[in-house]
Structure 1
């Protein structure tokens, strides 16, 4: 595929992707529509990884004639693409465009200074620079390999945000306070307290929390309050220096079992799993699949080594400091008692002293993060 052919095809596919996002009412803001039509995603995703033969990650690159067509079409489909591996495990990705749209539109209008946590490929930073101007955008990533590649790709475009290699959870490394918005493109189990200090009065935080996305506005020097968007979100976790972000699975328990009142139908319920993601913190999951592709059994484990194993017969075994399946059962009782709430019924209050997620109103049912 020649360079001219690639650029022509990419423009056609990019416009088709944006047309689909606008037709589906995902993309409603004209300023962000222009950004998505102008910024070339393929420049920022020159390759991605997918599962190949034997379960190994296979690199699909635009520079490989065998995969060039597959690569370009995938780049302009509405799906996430794994772009960076650590020890063979996914560590960074290019976010699904419809989710990017939801988060970017949540930032609001105006001439604001924006800090992005999680540079990734640089694509989201380029979109921010298109909308707000490169001098208004700072993007941060903990991985020097990631930021080096992002700078190189940004240099091929007109978009010039400031790219910083730093721990995104730590304030003070990116030019001081006064940001009108902080947007994160990495998964969090709580909002770093220092972000409040970096926000200007009335500034907003748009960030993945659990398997949802919050939009919180700074209401005072020590508080931000907001709600979850309706959309789901599954991001690579925010990593500290030297951390892979992977929760490794402990040995499966082999002790006594008991019958559980909830089975795989509960733990694959997306709305329930959202509550689990904020109430129980970060967890690892694994499923056994039947011939029809539906889960028949499940494993769930925590960073402290606790693990629970649900067998296809509905019995469960638990081991470790936390009785994880018992925690799931308690969360499910709350979920049922409150009418199986969707994400947009939840809100969040962030203060210097702590954070809590609440249902419907700040004085409703509460989960401390």
Structure 2
């Protein structure tokens, strides 16, 4: 540790701290390519624990031990015998166990696939995930007592993410999103996005794309809530940005089957923006339809949306389960 005082200040700051890069394969000085484990921002940790609403005697399953800090807070609050924490990475789990031992705590730590929970310790009154998911694993619901609560960061492939608080009733779980979030994805649910070259297939842009213009700025669809809402309506789609250094950029949208793509060119101060679309899906048209749906309902924030999980299916809704968010396209 080259700067212990700096580390001390960082740990006691309200910021997230990356503790592993590239699933542990990066061992040199400096930053790796992709953060893969962290100590979460304290404000977010405490907000999620508030959502979890643990009470004396509750048994809790945590998915994603990480540094062990959140596990330590729960073990201190409930008693170490009432906490099970699952970590996929054995090296991360070993470090968490050492940290907890230094704190005088020894909850049950399990190295395994967090999607499966830990049935040996079920049922649980509360389940909390410190990694984000695209789909809530059925095991989490099945291992939670009726009336129990599941708290997890949830987001689509497209982007945007929020904390969902689900109440379990039998094999069904339903509840609202409570706040914005940005967590590392559960490793088994990470996205496998095809590269840009898989779409143009060696042809020069605009290839066979159809040209048009739009009054909707690409900048207007880039916010965290906007991405969340668009992703809810555009299954199997994702985006990237190609920047040019003068404030202009191209927003690329792709379908995961590599059959469709769209480009939308942003220029500061412009009133209209050039669009090119190719393939069976008109991805910019879908983006615009999803945005206009959100705009037409008063630009709702995360807290007006909710999620229901039942029999392996998920449905996101606006204001109540009777108003599911529609797909576009």
TM-score, normalising length from structure 1? 0.72
* 1:237-264 deviation per Cα after TM superposition (whole angstroms, max 9, x unaligned): 1112xx8656464337522343234223
1:226 equivalent among 156, 170, 175: 175
Deviates more, 1:254-263 or 1:317-326: 317-326
Q: 8 Å contact 1:164–1:174 — kept in the other structure?
A: no
> Which of 288, 301, 305 pairs up with 1:329?
288
1:216-255 equivalence runs, <5 A: 216-219=166-169, 221-229=170-178, 231-240=179-188, 247=193, 249-251=195-197, 253=200, 254-255=205-206
The one of 135, 152, 170 equivalent to 1:190 is: 135
Q: Distance in 2 between matches of 1:183 and 1:226?
A: 14
2:17 maps to: 81
Q: Secondary structure at the match of 1:363?
A: coil
Q: CA deviation at 1:360?
A: 0.7
Stretch of structure 1 that moved more, 337-346 or 126-135: 126-135
Superposed displacement of residue 322, structure 1: 5.1
Q: Say yes or no: does 1:364 pair with 2:312.
A: no
Per the alignment, residue 135 of structure 1 pairs with 81
Q: Which residue is equivalent to 1:298?
A: 251
Contact 2:248–2:265 (Cα < 8 Å) also in 1: no
Per-residue deviation, residues 77-129 of structure 1 (Å, max 9, x unmatched): 21212221116321122211111111111111412111111122211111111
Is the 1:186–1:238 Cα contact (8 Å) retained in structure 2?
Answer: yes
Match of 1:204 among 149, 153, 161: 149
**In 2 relative to 1, CA 295–105 (structure 1 residues): closer, same or farther, beyond 3 Å?**
farther
Q: Give the whole-Å Cα distance in 2 for the aligned partners of 1:199 and 1:144.
A: 25
Matching residue of 1:350:
309
- In structure 1, the partner of 2:29 is none
After TM superposition, the runs of 4+ consecutive aligned structure 1 residues lying more than 6 A away are: none
SS state at 1:236 partner: coil
Supply the distance in 2 between the matched residues of 1:79 and 1:289 (Cα, whole angstroms).
30
Distance 1:123 1:299, change over 3 A: farther
How far apart are residue 326 of structure 1 and its match? 3.1
1:72/1:350 CA distance change after superposition, 3 Å: same
The number of equivalent residue pairs is 297
Q: Counterparts of 2:255 and 2:73 in 1: how far apart (Å)?
A: 35
Mean alpha-carbon deviation: is it higher for 197-206 or for 132-141?
132-141
- Quick check: 1:358–1:366 contact (8 Å CA) kept in 2? yes
Q: Is the 8 A contact 1:264 1:296 kept in 2?
A: no
What residue is the counterpart of 1:8 in the other structure? none
CA deviations 1:337-357 (Å, max 9, x no partner) are 111001111112111141111
Name the CA distance, whole Å, in 2 between partners of 1:238 and 1:163. Answer: 17
Conserved in 2, the CA contact under 8 Å of 1:92 and 1:120?
yes
How far apart are residue 138 of structure 1 and its match?
1.0
Kept in 2, the 8 Å contact 1:120–1:147? The answer is: yes
Confirm or deny: 8 A CA contact 1:120 1:141 kept in the other structure.
Answer: yes
CA 1:116–1:310: 2 relative to 1, 3 Å: same
Change (3 A) 1:327 1:164: farther
Structure 1 segment 70-109 matched on structure 2, within 5 A: 70-86=6-22, 88-109=33-54
Instruction: Let me know the Cα RMSD of the aligned residues.
Output: 2.6
- Structure 1 gaps, min length 5: 1-62
CA 1:136 to 1:301, structure 2 compared with 1: closer, same or farther past 3 Å? Answer: farther
Structure 2, unmatched stretches of 5+, are: 26-32, 156-160, 268-272
